[in-house]
Structure 1
Amino acid sequence: MDISKLRDIKDWLVDGARSAATPSQMMSECCDRLLRLGVPLWRVGVFVRTLHPDIAGRSFIWRQGAEVEMGTVDFGFESTPAYTDSPLALVFEHGGEFRADPRSPEAERFPILMDLRAEGVTDYLTLPMTFIDRAVHASSWTTKSPGGFTDEQLNAIRSLMPALARYTEIITLRRTASMLLDTYVGNSAGERILGGQIRRGHTDTLDAAIWLSDLRGFTPLSDRLPAEDVVEILNQYFDCQVDPIREQGGEVLKFMGDGLLAVFPIREQDGDPTEVCGRVLTAARASRARVDALEYAVRDNGERFRFGVALHVGRLLYGNIGGGNRLDFTCIGPAVNLAARLEKMAARLKRTVVASEAFAAACPEPWTDLGEFPIAGLAKEQRVFGLREEES
């Protein structure tokens, strides 16, 4: 085996595998290089635990002559037979390597080895990938070579682990940072923060449709129910809105108690306010239907819920606002203030959906003119519109 070429692979990984734009491409190129070096690989897997609200881990599977397959596992996977009856569980829990011949009788206790036996695999090796924080992740290596891996080939694979772990750790940390920003501040804000917009006062102007909603009767509800029930109700209630908002191109910026602030950006060059506001109203109707269908069992009774949403369109200021080294990436401006005031009007008018005059003008729907009303903080009364379908 050419030791200099093996060193080249290690150096390539440590240098960030720059010729590979994605982790999948890195897997493919790394395995192809090992094949050319004389390591007879058949199937290689990398398994990484993640910090994600919905996903417990990710997998990358390379097979000779095929595209890299990416997969995810949900929380609770570690209690399933697919995990407990896998050699990977030994690596994750004990941090050591595991090697077996899938053709041997002792391999029959692992279903994955039986599947690999059927494919003609003759050797199976799992190795830990240890990150700097000592968290253990895993990799698996197989061959169809009649005699399995030679000692020289095994040592070559083992020698790659530190470099592969460093590359995987860096990619995982970047993905985690991006995912956490998306989770807590939204996709657009997350991209801006990662792009370097982290100084206080760094703001942009944005034309957008604005969504501001809250749950009706939340205060008395939270007073008479256990805190755990209130949290569960809020989570289910927000689920009723977040999916429709995202499906229609909106971005949830903030949860404020039982309130939700979202924006639907209108592109400066070719954005169509009518099209954007139409999508906003589609999301509002879908959310209304979901909240109407929401029922939460408390003791022997079923709690039913109502919410109100105010829709407006205008220009807002979008960026970093805060004090000291504690910042919030949010939006402010007269347009947001008006949406907040209109949301209070929804309850007063016993409406689920209310809209400003600007939103109603941009969205040709069967609106009902509810009249002009004084709005706190504004010198001029504002005309408010409601959906005609809600008149009953």
Structure 2
Amino acid sequence: MDAARAASIAKWVTEAGLIGMSELELLHGFCDRLIAEGLPVSRVNIVIDTLHPIHEGRVFRWRRDDQESLNPVVEYGRTNVEGEAAENWRRSTYYHLLVSGEDFLRRRIGPGHPEDFSVLKDLRADGQTDYVVLIHRFAVEGAIGEMDCFYSSWTTDAHSGFTDEHIALLRELASPLMLALKCASLARIAKTLVETYLGRDAGRLVLNGRIARGVTDRIQAVLWFSDLHSFTHITETADPEQIIPFLNDYSEAVISSIYEAGGDVLKLIGDGALAIFKEENASEACRSALKAERLMRSRIQALNDERRSCNLPVTSAYLGLHIGEVFYGNIGSQDRLDFTVVGPAVNEVSRIGALCRSVERDVLVSSAFHATASKDDQECLVSVGRYALRGVARPQELFTLDPSRLEDEGFRADAE
């Protein structure tokens, strides 16, 4: 390949990175262009650590043949703890480059060539003849968490393997590719972080530019405020190392239920959660919130069965539901903003949730919620009387779930 054609591939990679192509689009486009120019690449893996609450990183994969049956993205778990993932990592060619300080490794594959890494045996069995591994390290200032370098491996099944010219070209063109991939990875990390810490809808709005202080929308939404029973007592009596797993277990049950029903969690307050449900049709938002409650109840019941079998402390959740107009957006100081909801309705739903304990009900919904809900949903709610809410001028009628409807298996099946 002459210099002009190599420059053309580098130019395409740069422009593709600037317009925001995904990692897979970049990898596939790059490899397709290498093949078109006669470079005999048959397999490529690119590995990058990331900043994610669950996964340590991702492997992006390309195959010249049999691409349709390939899983193009593989997410891997923590390699800094003991286990199969950590053992595989320490035996890998990537780990060898990391600890040796080298940036290039090549192994010819076949009879008479050493197989000092287990991957070489697998590649030989698949008919590969040459294997090249590169590492592109970031400066300390360019790293984000454990995202401090790219690893890549390049394989061919050509009878004579890669030529020296092929390898030189790969090393030259891999740098602009990795730069474009880093841009794509940073965009994905930003999306993961804002959605994880702000909530899905709030995170999307922030990434779309809603970051100015005081910029809010006046919206109508169903408000959810839930908390856990006896959390203070459990923290005082349980072993300290059990508290965080306890919170994580029950938070997973609550948050996953809200998300599955179409809601968005805006804030975690200790053992409590503030969420909203937004729909064009307000009665549909009420229905979504009730669906989330049923999902949460079912998941907490299953979780309690599992935790009891392990002799671990268990609890249940209580929930307040309300609907009203709120301000939704950025609130705070110039240096610290929170994307959340504020307004009298937010105060009311927290008061309704807190009243569950004294009324001895796990769920209380406001009269506004009851009036907005569809007729079918109203039929599963019964009045518990009028109550004064702290900080609210007039008492209001509150409702709870009809116990007879909760016991109806047909009702529960329909809810799912």
Q: Does 1:258 align with 2:261?
A: no
Q: CA RMSD in A?
A: 2.4
Q: Post-superposition shift, 1:279?
A: 2.2
Structure 1 contact 308–346 (Cα < 8 Å) conserved:
yes
Structure 2 counterpart of 1:85: 91
Give the Cα–Cα distance (whole angstroms) in 1 for the partners of residues 230 and 319 of structure 2: 14
For residues 141-290 of structure 1, the aligned pairs below 5 Å read 141-266=154-279, 271-290=280-299
* Partner AA of 1:377 in structure 2: G
Structure 2 counterpart of 1:72: 75
Deviations 1:145-176 (A, max 9, x none): 11100000100001123212211221111111
Shifted more, 245-254 versus 77-86: the winner is: 77-86
Secondary structure of the structure 1 residue equivalent to 2:43: strand
Give the Cα–Cα distance (whole angstroms) in 2 for the partners of residues 288 and 297 of structure 1: 15
Q: Post-superposition shift, 1:336?
A: 1.3
Structure 1 contact 17–26 (Cα < 8 Å) conserved:
yes
* Partner AA of 1:287 in structure 2: M
For residues 1-392 of structure 1, the aligned pairs below 5 Å read 1-17=1-17, 21-65=21-65, 66=67, 69-76=72-79, 79-80=83-84, 81-96=87-102, 97-104=104-111, 107-132=114-139, 133=142, 135-266=148-279, 271-295=280-304, 302-361=312-371, 362=373, 363-389=377-403
Give the Cα–Cα distance (whole angstroms) in 2 for the partners of residues 352 and 91 of structure 1: 57
Secondary structure of the structure 2 residue equivalent to 1:48: strand
Secondary structure of the structure 2 residue equivalent to 1:325: coil
Q: Post-superposition shift, 1:19?
A: 7.1
Secondary structure of the structure 2 residue equivalent to 1:55: coil
Shifted more, 50-59 versus 102-111: the winner is: 102-111
Structure 1 contact 310–342 (Cα < 8 Å) conserved:
yes
Q: Post-superposition shift, 1:332?
A: 0.9
1:318/1:105 CA distance change after superposition, 3 Å:
farther
Structure 1 residue runs of 4+, over 6 Å off? Answer: none
Shifted more, 129-138 versus 209-218: the winner is: 129-138
Structure 1 contact 131–169 (Cα < 8 Å) conserved:
no
Give the Cα–Cα distance (whole angstroms) in 1 for the partners of residues 62 and 388 of structure 2: 65
Q: Post-superposition shift, 1:230?
A: 1.8
1:112/1:353 CA distance change after superposition, 3 Å:
same
* Partner AA of 2:380 in structure 1: P
Shifted more, 288-297 versus 97-106: the winner is: 288-297
TM-score (norm 1): 0.91
* Partner AA of 2:383 in structure 1: D
Structure 2 contact 367–398 (Cα < 8 Å) conserved:
yes
1:317/1:104 CA distance change after superposition, 3 Å:
farther
Give the Cα–Cα distance (whole angstroms) in 1 for the partners of residues 397 and 239 of structure 2: 40
Give the Cα–Cα distance (whole angstroms) in 1 for the partners of residues 322 and 396 of structure 2: 12
Give the Cα–Cα distance (whole angstroms) in 1 for the partners of residues 307 and 201 of structure 2: 36
Q: Post-superposition shift, 1:226?
A: 4.1
Secondary structure of the structure 1 residue equivalent to 2:202: helix
- Which structure dedicates a bigger proportion of its chain to strand? 1
* Partner AA of 2:74 in structure 1: G
* Partner AA of 2:9 in structure 1: I
- Aligned sequence identity (%): 35
1:287/1:297 CA distance change after superposition, 3 Å:
closer
Secondary structure of the structure 2 residue equivalent to 1:308: strand
Give the Cα–Cα distance (whole angstroms) in 2 for the partners of residues 13 and 364 of structure 1: 57
* Partner AA of 2:92 in structure 1: S
Which runs of no fewer than 5 residues in structure 2 stay unpaired? 408-416
TM-score (norm 2): 0.86
Give the Cα–Cα distance (whole angstroms) in 2 for the partners of residues 186 and 205 of structure 1: 18
1:130/1:16 CA distance change after superposition, 3 Å:
farther
Count residues in correspondence.
Answer: 387
Secondary structure of the structure 2 residue equivalent to 1:223: helix
* Partner AA of 2:344 in structure 1: P
Give the Cα–Cα distance (whole angstroms) in 2 for the partners of residues 24 and 113 of structure 1: 25
Secondary structure of the structure 2 residue equivalent to 1:198: coil
Structure 1 contact 90–98 (Cα < 8 Å) conserved:
no
* Partner AA of 1:340 in structure 2: S
Structure 2 contact 234–313 (Cα < 8 Å) conserved:
no
Structure 1 contact 249–264 (Cα < 8 Å) conserved:
yes
